[in-house]
Amino acid sequence: MLKKIFSALTLFAPLLGCQTHTLAVEPPAVGSPLDLTVKDIDGRDVNLADYKGQVVMIVNVASKCGLTPQYEKLEALYRKYKDQGFVILGFPANNFMGQEPGTNEEIKQFCSTKYNVTFPMFSKISVKGDDIAPLYAWLTSKDTNPEFSGDIEWNFAKFLVGRDGKVKARFSPRTAPDDASVTAAIEKELAASASK
């Protein structure tokens, strides 16, 4: 019974403004989230360093969430800025109430047929807990990402990485991809030189 109460408190504490950050996995000892290698939606290795010099938005996504319609706005955002050096990286995760139960193939099919997603999608990972993926261990650790650390609250949390490979902003799941604060941050980073 106590375990169920603790689990419920852990789930809802971030929504109440409480911090429950407990990192079960040590973050990788790299200087940028773009120094890591991940698997794409088809299972192929992708070195995120390939995206250095671009402005990158990293988003944990889910197909059966109330926020799933954000895919449409994410795709619009990607199309608006991609020719200026902007890319969105979508990471499906099933950490919140089983809202991403599908296989990678099912997720890929859903994204392309329902939302015409053309931005890069990656293999399903965990964004919190004992099985947290190295990328999200890095993004959420106060040791590696002190300004924007903390547990992922829900699906569609967004991290913005500048051309220099450093995390520049974090937006809550409920912040729409086309919110003025998001587009202003993207435009600011697009205007910045990669050498800064």
* Buried-exposed string 73-108: b where 16+ CB fall within 10 A, e elsewhere: bbbebbeebeeeebbbbbbbbbbbeebbebebeebb
Q: Does the annotation count 65 as an active-site position?
A: yes
- Is 100:61 a contact under the CB 8 Å cutoff? yes
Alpha-carbon distance of 56 to 135, in angstroms, equals: 14
CA distance 115 to 195: 35
How many whole angstroms separate alpha carbon 135 and alpha carbon 140?
9
Catalytic residue among 30, 65, 176, 190: 65
The three-point CA angle 60-94-134 to 5° equals 60
Q: What is the DSSP letter of 133?
A: -
Length of the chain: 196
Q: Are 125 and 137 in contact (CB under 8 A)?
A: no
Can you tell me the distance from the alpha carbon of 68 to that of 100, in angstroms, rounded to the nearest whole number?
10
CA 76 to chain CA mean position, Å: 17
**Which residues are catalytic, by number?**
65
